[in-house]
């Protein structure tokens, strides 16, 4: 998991056997290429069955795809896997660009959603991998890495509870080393699966659902405030400026409507299946 454009699909492509590379779509821009949850499975040389799952980011750039859509995709996949197969989660990977000079609002939201999906008990199965090391000098990269490890609002709280940070240099060997480390961990049940399956919560009631609801409500309040301010300003501005303000106001109103639809969609939750019944 991780924001769009951090190199998730590129990592998957280097981690899977060469024969499966063609099944992984890799983008070269900040536009999302991962349209859905994409599991790729294979058997390693020791006979171990491995499934690596690529997911869209919570800042998906495609029109019509909301953060609620992404949460439902991930929750639905994890719940089906838990109910219908013998596979269990042994590793959770969060991908971050070391080339980013700061962690903005969207990246912070992605990290919080990841944390809430996993839960505290599964952090020992988390590897935070940093990518794009070829975009920074060794000195810059080390400085940013130390900042990410030491700042409370970045990765410090996850690392203190068992997560590890690893560098990914874009090679197959580096990807394989990270996968091997995670396969050595004991399996875990992530928080959202425990909440949906064992505690019978709705998606909105889960920690991740509540976090997303809070993010959406914050954005709603921001846009509603902007609309009120524009309405007041339009009373006093000249005609030309008023027209521009009306266009901005319309954009804000459309965003408010979109966010309200997300909240309604979140309340509907994921389609539930009867235990033991799979497609």
Are the beta carbons of 120 and 70 closer than 8 angstroms?
no
Per residue in 248-267, pLDDT (tens digit) is 777 787 878 878 887 888 88
Bridge partners for 39 per DSSP:
53
Report the distance separating Cα 217 and Cα 244, nearest Å: 26
Are the beta carbons of 96 and 130 closer than 8 angstroms?
yes
**Other CB atoms within 10 Å distance of the CB of residue 221:** 12
More confident residue, 279 or 166: 166
Please report how many Cα atoms fall inside a 13 Å half-sphere around the Cα of residue 64, on the Cβ side.
Answer: 1
Dihedral sign (CA 148, 68, 15, 279): positive
- 183, two tokens: 């396969």
**Band of residue 169 on the pLDDT scale cut at 50, 70, 90:** very high
* pTM of the predicted protein model: 0.81
What's residue 20's pLDDT? 81
Per residue in 40-82, pLDDT (tens digit) is 888 888 888 899 998 888 865 555 678 888 899 999 999 988 8
Are the beta carbons of 227 and 256 closer than 8 angstroms?
yes
Strands (E), the chain: 38-43, 49-54, 92-97, 126-131, 164-167
What's residue 274's pLDDT? 47
What's residue 249's pLDDT? 77
Bridge partners for 131 per DSSP:
97
CA distances from 181 to 22, 51, 59, 79, 186 (A): 25, 15, 28, 25, 11
Q: Is the model's pLDDT at 14 over the cut of 70?
A: yes
What's residue 13's pLDDT? 87
Burial of 206 (0-12, 13-18, 19+ CB in 10 A): buried
- 199, two tokens: 């505690």
């Amino acid at each position: 998991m991780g924001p769009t454009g951090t190199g998730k699909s590129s990592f998957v492509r280097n981690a899977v056997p060469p024969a499966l590379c063609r099944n992984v779509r890799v983008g070269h821009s900040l536009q999302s290429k991962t349209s859905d949850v994409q599991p790729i499975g294979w058997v390693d040389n020791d006979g171990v069955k491995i499934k690596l799952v690529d997911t869209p980011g919570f800042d998906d750039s495609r029109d019509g795809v909301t953060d609620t859509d992404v949460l439902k995709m991930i929750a639905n996949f994890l719940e089906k896997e838990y109910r219908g197969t013998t596979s269990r989660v042994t590793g959770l990977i969060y991908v971050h660009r070391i080339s980013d000079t700061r962690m903005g609002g969207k990246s912070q939201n992605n990290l919080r959603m990841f944390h809430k999906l996993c839960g505290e008990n599964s952090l020992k199965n988390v590897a935070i991998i940093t990518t794009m090391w070829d975009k920074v000098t060794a000195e810059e990269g080390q400085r940013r890495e130390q900042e990410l490890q030491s700042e409370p609002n970045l990765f410090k709280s996850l690392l203190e509870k068992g997560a590890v940070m690893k560098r990914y240099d874009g090679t197959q060997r580096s990807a394989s080393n990270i996968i091997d480390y995670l396969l050595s961990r004991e399996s875990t049940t992530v928080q959202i699966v425990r909440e949906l399956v064992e505690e019978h919560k709705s998606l909105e009631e889960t920690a991740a659902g509540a976090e997303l609801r809070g993010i959406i409500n914050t954005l709603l309040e921001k846009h509603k405030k902007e609309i009120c301010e524009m309405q007041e300003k339009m009373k006093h501005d000249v005609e030309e400026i008023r027209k521009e303000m009306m266009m901005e106001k319309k954009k804000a109103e459309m965003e408010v409507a979109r966010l309200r639809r997300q909240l309604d969609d979140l309340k509907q939750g994921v389609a539930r299946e009867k235990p033991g019944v799979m497609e």
